[in-house]
Structure 1
């Protein structure tokens, strides 16, 4: 090639285009910024060699080709991890080799070159086809990598968004957790206060029932005490008569025997009524102390009758004008029932007190004097169960509230007259403590019936 003709400029221009393509394809401006400054100026060597070409022979063109090939190979070697760069190196390697060999043969072994020019041309053609094929492959690889990179960036963006959402959600969850924890602590505090209040109300209910019991006991215990006092006085008189009779010279054995018999009978009656007073006191003590949950065989009929009269006299102690008819029908075949007597006593006392309260209220509301308060209590045994029925002809319970009467703190009594825990405690004692049932049947204005069922 003559550097003075136009082919020199074409070679330099073609080399510049190739270098520009390589820079753009391999993105050297961003991947190899330091080297790229020199790479984009490599075309200047062509003009320098063009100047030398006017002085030195043509083989200097080979040096320009070597510089271009070296620049490309050096660039690719620094980007070897970039897959399209490796493919591009594979594309230009055969063509570069053949191009150098061709120029060397053309200038150094002209005769050999002319004799084998067809083979060299064929090889060059094959190298060009190889070059084009792998350039296309490299271009496709770059597009695939660009697409994969874009998808990777999208994935990273999605991860970033997800991470941001996650952090936001974690913050919201932490904030909500703190709020829930605060509410939980407030609720626990409220529950603690409610339990304390409930305990106070339960205690108040027990004290109220104890008050009812005490009022009844005060009246009920007076009878056996009167009998004890009276028979004690009579017995003292009999002892005095017996002493006088024994001091006489002429003693009457029959009179002494009669006096001793009377004295024995009096002592038996004192013992009987003393036992009666003792049982009342024992019942009061059992009722007042906390339940141990210990079951024991109990005469249900005697327990029911005792608490019925205690409840009646308790109400009469508050209202001397109140009177009611008491009807009892006890099944003598019941025998001893296993139960916690003080707990069942509380239940019975509550039901009896409520029954007397209901008939008392109806009596106050009655328009005429024909109404007669009446409370009927019966026991019976059926299907292996002891059944206690407490019936009154009082004010009755409205149907709308019958399902609520066993709920804690629900009461139909005016404010200050009931805590709303009596029936709730009674229900728990019967159902949970004794595996029984407590049911209510009522009709407003006519009366109420409570039915207790206990395993016998």
Structure 2
């Protein structure tokens, strides 16, 4: 009897101990879940901050790109106004043939106004798309156009920050690349980051060469190429390159070679995740013989695109 009582007491103690252990586990689980939620919220905020920072860098380039089509719209509008006055004169003189020819000129001007208006509209929509939270939906996208669009925006953004900046930009777009299923705003973010880094690298080397009295021609290359089952986008420069010692760290979050306040350290990390996790591709870095760096975006093609 006494032995049974001891066994029962032992079982109760064991049960209560197990309850306390389970309670502790539940408490720890709740803490871990809360910490994970805070981490995800912080990550989302950091990603949004990086997006807005890159959008800020785009602002000057966007303003320049919009100004060009607006100038065309204004010019062709003024020309059309003058042509209409001439048409009235021709009609007053009874020269209907001359008036008809002038009407054809007005019609051509209106086509050009429409074209450049749509161009400005496309730039604004691209800016809004860049600032929005990505839906993750892949769309058939012209990779050459996307690359060239962000190249221009990045270049004009750099020029706005430093109007003495000049660079020889060499592009080579393979027509066979065509359209690829990507998330446009995400891939645009990757292109912007890689091109900005290349422009920054040659800008820094330009300053250093000038200070040292050395000859240097800054160059940035943007090349697209269709492969058998993939497309490649190569962004390279002839800057100082990336030391071998830090190549393994280059895609780590918060790692940056820029001075404090000039980089978040998230650009390449986010770009790497977009390419690899978001698109099942590869983002590689190579050192070049002339000391520059080359980033390669490799995107797999869907079965119906190969």
* TM class, shorter-length: 0.7 to 0.9
Change (3 A) 1:172 1:404: farther
Pairing 1:424–2:283 present:
no
Pairing 1:346–2:193 present:
no
Map 1:49-448 → 2, pairs under 5 A: 187-248=32-93, 251-366=94-209, 367-368=212-213, 370-442=215-287, 446-448=291-293
Q: How many residues align?
A: 296
Indicate conservation of the 8 Å contact 1:398/1:444, yes or no: no
Structure-1-length-normalised TM-score: 0.59
Change (3 A) 1:369 1:170: farther
Indicate conservation of the 8 Å contact 1:397/1:443, yes or no: no
Indicate conservation of the 8 Å contact 2:90/2:96, yes or no: no
Whole-Å separation in 2 of the counterparts to 1:206 and 1:399 = 28
Q: What CA deviation, in whole Å up to 9, does each residue of 1:121-167 have, x standing for no partner? A: xxxxxxxxxxxxxxxxxxxxxxxxxxxxxxxxxxxxxxxxxxxx999
Structure with higher Rg: it is 1
* Structure ranking higher in helix proportion: 1
Indicate conservation of the 8 Å contact 1:296/1:341, yes or no: yes
Whole-Å separation in 2 of the counterparts to 1:362 and 1:173 = 66
Q: What CA deviation, in whole Å up to 9, does each residue of 1:51-108 have, x standing for no partner? A: xxxxxxxxxxxxxxxxxxxxxxxxxxxxxxxxxxxxxxxxxxxxxxxxxxxxxxxxxx
Report the CA distance between 1:443 and its aligned residue: 5.4
Structure-2-length-normalised TM-score: 0.86
Whole-Å separation in 2 of the counterparts to 1:446 and 1:327 = 17
Report the CA distance between 1:428 and its aligned residue: 1.3
Indicate conservation of the 8 Å contact 1:328/1:376, yes or no: yes
Q: What CA deviation, in whole Å up to 9, does each residue of 1:342-381 have, x standing for no partner? A: 1111111111111111111111222235212211001111
Change (3 A) 1:385 1:392: same
Change (3 A) 1:396 1:178: farther
- Secondary structure of the equivalent of 1:333? helix
Indicate conservation of the 8 Å contact 1:228/1:270, yes or no: yes
Specify which structure has the bigger relative contact order, considering alpha-carbon pairs within 8 angstroms and separated by 6 or more residues: 2
- Secondary structure of the equivalent of 1:194? helix
Whole-Å separation in 1 of the counterparts to 2:187 and 2:39 = 27
Task: Name structure 1 gaps, 5 residues minimum.
Answer: 1-164
Give the alignment's Cα RMSD to 1 decimal. 2.9
Report the CA distance between 1:257 and its aligned residue: 2.8
Whole-Å separation in 1 of the counterparts to 2:288 and 2:247 = 10
Task: Name structure 2 gaps, 5 residues minimum.
Answer: 1-9, 302-306
- Secondary structure of the equivalent of 2:253? coil
Q: 2:3 corresponds to which residue?
A: none
Change (3 A) 1:398 1:230: same
